[in-house]
Structure 1
């Protein structure tokens, strides 16, 4: 009875969140800013997909290493991993957005073999099918050799996904480390969701600290390598992310997603405090979404609005469905 009352009190909040998100998406459609709508929706989708995929990867890591952290995190991670197929299925819609999202879609000077629409669609389908399968199989403990093979396949898939769905939005920019950057971001977002939903313990706090450092290190090293190379096409990619809303998203992602969590997690007491970890996990998720907005399309405020709206709508639907099942 207490759980049902608790659910009833919270449901209206999520209903209004869902309504506001849908209204924001409709506003984007009405203003006919197709580019902002497409990039914002892509950002929100990547955020949700990263949370679910990262959860499956953590479960695969748990099959290899074990540990007390897994016992606490497994219920949330399993639920998130099993949602991967539903989020992956939404990726089909981005084939229709292709001409708006990707400058090479209509043909250009980029390598024709890799930037071919049919090959692009087949690669994307392969990545999404693999992640959907991993979301299901990772829910149960796997033999270490099988878990290791699954993690190897994921490493290949995340490199393809990062190149196709993010870097090819600006095909002049190439980064061999971006796959690793995206993989660590997936792990950080999934563990942040665990902390936000269930709190955690010292092990979760320590892993969150490692994730914060990992995301910052890879992002900073990409910038340092690009700066030292002094190549015009790489400089143009970063300069484009200093225009408009770019610096605002960058500072939001750094302060909320990196600096504040890092400073807080240095304290042993905070790393063992479930209430503090809930706040830190929530902050890291906000910072992670801002970081994805900065990567995918930071120049316009409408892009950020669409990203937040898409993410809010997806999370609200997931909460309402899960809550409805709990009530039954």
Structure 2
């Protein structure tokens, strides 16, 4: 496996997995809090949740393959024993520990998805599931994204990734919403999208301000690399397409109450999220970022097609389990 292929796979997987995981989190939240919004969005969330085991399978299979073919080093410099402090490499950024954290996380998320899909996720299970998600996203958000360039750290980063996953799920729900969705349901979805969008923008802005005031060399270098061309253009484009335009559109009542217009907003948000994740990951690869971006586009298209086919099969099996 070439360097560009694995780097592209990593980015494509991160973008593709955001919707299923975000749908799972929102379903767990609804199991705890209740509310009409969860019932309205369930037809979109349930097919997405069926893909969580596939998300786990694709990652773990790739990780197992990379254990034989040492392509892990292509995306993560620490896998070659460089780029971080020796103690960090020994006790945290170790390939075996990386794989173990990923396995526990993805298997745990898959179990939660199974409970939600089979109607066995009560308030207690949902609350424990959300606690498990909060713990694991704090670890794997660093593993899968920040560790491509060790040295930069941010305590708000896991929350930012979680918000982007939630926002991706809401955008997907808007994109596939039924034309029969009533104005109240559309308004509920628009309100949730607006809240998640503002939360993501706030965390991004505050993280930058804190890093700017701290004026620490590793953080400054991380932002300076992503401020160079063409990454500055990627940042502006993703912010405009996935942030500013959807925010302005959602301020209008006519947009909030129209399923057709919300589909357009959802598409913009998903494109912006993909661009944002690309801005986070690809600059770490320097001259190899271009080939990795091309590979990511093709792999993302392939994963989307795979999820469409697998989602139908898994949805049928889930319906059978609910009747057992």
Distance apart, 1:301 and its partner CA = 2.9
3-state secondary structure, aligned to 1:198? coil
Structure 1 unaligned residues grouped into runs of 5+: 1-28
Match of 2:295 among 290, 302, 306: 306
How much has 1:142 moved relative to structure 2? 2.8
Alignment of 1:37-56 (within 5 A): 37-56=5-24
Size of the alignment, in residue pairs? 295
Q: 2:73 aligns with which of 88, 95, 99?
A: 99
Shift in CA distance, 127/321, structure 1 to aligned 2, threshold 3 Å: closer
Looking at structure 1, the residues matched to 163 and 120 of structure 2 have their Cα atoms a distance apart, in angstroms, of 22
1:179-190 aligned within 5 A: 179-190=158-169
Q: Does residue 115 of structure 1 match 2:85? A: no
Are 2:102 and 1:124 equivalent residues in the alignment? Answer: yes
Q: CA deviation at 1:175?
A: 0.8
Tell me, yes or no, if structure 1 residue 295 matches structure 2 residue 280: yes
| TM-score with structure 2 setting the length | 0.86
Whether 1:173 and 2:148 are equivalent positions in the alignment is no
| Contact 2:21 2:49 survives alignment (8 Å) | yes
Shift of 1:325: 9.4
Distance 1:74 1:132 in 2: 18
Partner secondary structure for residue 153 of structure 2: coil
What are the within-5 Å matches in structure 2 for residues 68-79 of structure 1? 68-79=36-47
The 5 Å alignment of 1:124-273 reads 124-139=102-117, 140=119, 142-198=121-177, 201-273=186-258
The aligned residue for residue 25 of structure 1 is none
Q: 1:99-126, CA deviations, whole angstroms, 9 ceiling, x for partnerless residues? A: 1111111213421211122111111111
Distance (whole Å) between structure 1 residues aligned to residue 314 and residue 99 of structure 2: 34
Q: 1:249 and 1:36 mapped to 2: Cα distance?
A: 19
- The answer to whether structure 1 residue 83 and structure 2 residue 51 are counterparts is yes
Query: How far apart are the structure 1 equivalents of 2:264 and 2:248?
Result: 13
Change (3 A) 1:141 1:215: farther
List per-residue Cα deviations over 1:221-275 (Å, max 9, x = no partner): 1111111100010011111112343122212210111000000001122111100
Shift in Å, 1:207: 0.4
RMSD: 2.0
My pick for the range that moved more, 101-110 or 54-63, is: 101-110
In structure 2, the residue matched to 1:316 is 305
For 1:256 and 1:280, locate their aligned partners in 2 and report how far apart those are by CA, in whole Å: 9
Per-residue deviation, 1:191: 0.9
1:8-34 residue CA offsets vs partner (Å, 9 max, x unmatched): xxxxxxxxxxxxxxxxxxxxx7xxxx3
Conserved 8 A contact 1:40-1:293:
no
Q: Aligned with 1:115: secondary structure? A: coil
